[in-house]
Amino acid sequence: MRISLFQIPSRFVSIFLLGVTFCANLSAQQNGNTYTKRVLETAEVDMLFSYYGQDGNNAAVTGGEGTEELTDATSTLVVRMPLNENDVLTVDVGLSAYTSASSSNVSPLDSSNDNLSPFDASSGESRKDVLTYINPSYQHSSADRNTIWSVNAYFSNEYDYTSVGFGGSYSRSFNENNTELTVSSQIFLDQWRIINPIELRPGFFDDRVEGPGTYNPNFEALDKENRNSYALSLNFSQILGKRWQGAVFADAVVQQGLLSTPFQRVYFGDVGDFFIDDFQLADDVERLPDSRFKLPLGGRLNYFANDFLVLRGYYRFYWDDWGISSHTASLESAVKISDRFTLYPNYRYYTQTAADYFYEKEAALSSFDFYTSDFDLSQYDAHQYGLGIRYKDIFTNATILKFGLKTIELRASKYDRSDGLDAFIVTLGTTFVAIQ
Amino acid sequence: MTKYLLPLVLMLFFSSCVVVKEYDKVYLNDDEMLLSAKGMERFETNFQIYREAAAGANGGKTGGGCGCN
């Protein structure tokens, strides 16, 4: 059964928030004899919404040529509950509802159009889906606040993909809290439910097929359905002065299993072309190695210029053993225009080289072992421009139920890629705190 | 460029000989000085993970999910 984004019962949300308030008050009463400053003073609730849209003409589902039009609406609720002076439980739940023109062309025969084309969306069920997820985590801080450890779990599900993850982290502060080192690890055990393009499924027949002879692709079904990811992360942060601080991040990620997407078509240059109207039938699906090693290294540098301006810089170098390397750089400034309002102009630049296995439409040969026409793995540059505005009320004068509004923030960004993909995203976020 | 930039950043970190006392951290404790990615950036990071080959090294999620749309 598919769930619409707007069908979450408001009664369920109200009961959930009242439960959070009860837990927060209970834990406060249990520790009434002595006072220790809590890691988190009171329960907090973040409500986040985003709307994303993109368009382009290099859809991977149709072998690198076709509409990439997609919209996604995501709604997320994050609840942080202090269990006692030292422990915090966080529950992050959400759902993401999307419609995708390219996904609809997994089965273009559902189209009501008179002329089938990779540049038109189909009306079949594969045009939309809902991803739901939950990510609980538990954090413990030592009494001297110099050590923090945490554990977390993750579960998400959509029509053809399920992800299960768990992980943990350990942080240690030293040098009078001027230095912090964090080691963390995360494991995801994901499962595909393989869906192939309709023309590659057993028993396919359509009397409209045109081409040189009989359409009979040499297609072998993918033999793996799992995708496992193992990540080890090291974060090192350092205060550099009264106005400067920075951090260095290093991850090592290993992925194994089915790393290609089973419904992304590939068209070979040495195989005859078959069509239904203007829609070219697949020669194969993309095939990629069953392992990948990723090594991203990043750094962040923040500068408190004055009471009105804070600068946040970020840089990342990325390398993987599929032949991709990339650079990412971003700069965001926080401009405090009053006690309550802050503006966030920001810019991000991204560039990457192509994967060894990327070929444009008809450029791969059927004798190759690995091939994809997914332009997300091609060479390109991208520019992202954004602006945000935040209202902050430390007195939480506006209240809903037993929660006061602490912040409300709106962000909008435009993303332009050199291969023609354009995207935009709008995000609205609010933070409420429990009133005791 | 990377082979020069990374040692420079590391040198900057490890050469920090100033220990800032707690009572001098008023600017550093400003909520805009957060060193990890902000919660409001999570959706932007999410679509970047879907649309770009690179991911990670930002204090956030480093794997999982198909990213196939």
Q: Using DSSP, state whether A5 is helix, strand or coil.
A: helix
Asked if the C-beta of A75 comes within 8 angstroms of chain B's C-beta atoms, the answer is no
Which residues of chain B have a CB within 8 Å of the CB of A427?
40, 43-44
Q: In chain B, how many H helices and how many E strands?
A: 2, 0
* Contact between A227 and A258 (Cβ < 8 Å): yes
Give the pLDDT score at A127: 79
Between the alpha carbon of residue A402 and those of residues A20, A72, A85, A173, A288, the distances in Å are 10, 32, 21, 35, 52
Predicted confidence (pLDDT) per residue in A100-140, tens digit: 887 888 888 876 777 888 888 876 667 788 999 999 999 99
* Contact between A146 and A179 (Cβ < 8 Å): no
**CA A357/CA A372 separation, integer angstroms:** 6
Asked if the C-beta of A55 comes within 8 angstroms of chain B's C-beta atoms, the answer is no
Q: Which two tokens stand for residue A169?
A: 């982290």
Structure pTM?
A: 0.88
Which residues of chain B have a CB within 8 Å of the CB of A343?
none
**CA A177/CA A200 separation, integer angstroms:** 60
Do residue A161 and residue B2 have CB atoms under 8 angstroms apart?
A: no
Give the pLDDT score at A397: 83
**CA A405/CA A139 separation, integer angstroms:** 24
CB atoms within 10 A of CB A432: 25
Do residue B40 and residue A409 have CB atoms under 8 angstroms apart?
A: yes
**CA A49/CA A99 separation, integer angstroms:** 17
Residue carrying structure tokens 């991204």: A350
Between the alpha carbon of residue A142 and those of residues A83, A170, A176, the distances in Å are 14, 11, 15
Which residues of chain A have a CB within 8 Å of the CB of B5?
315
* Contact between A262 and A102 (Cβ < 8 Å): no
User: Which DSSP category does A269 fall into?
Assistant: T
State the 10-residue block means of pLDDT for chain A, 436 residues long. 44 52 48 69 94 95 93 96 95 93 81 79 77 95 94 93 95 93 95 93 90 91 92 95 95 94 94 92 96 96 96 96 96 96 97 97 96 96 97 86 92 97 97 89
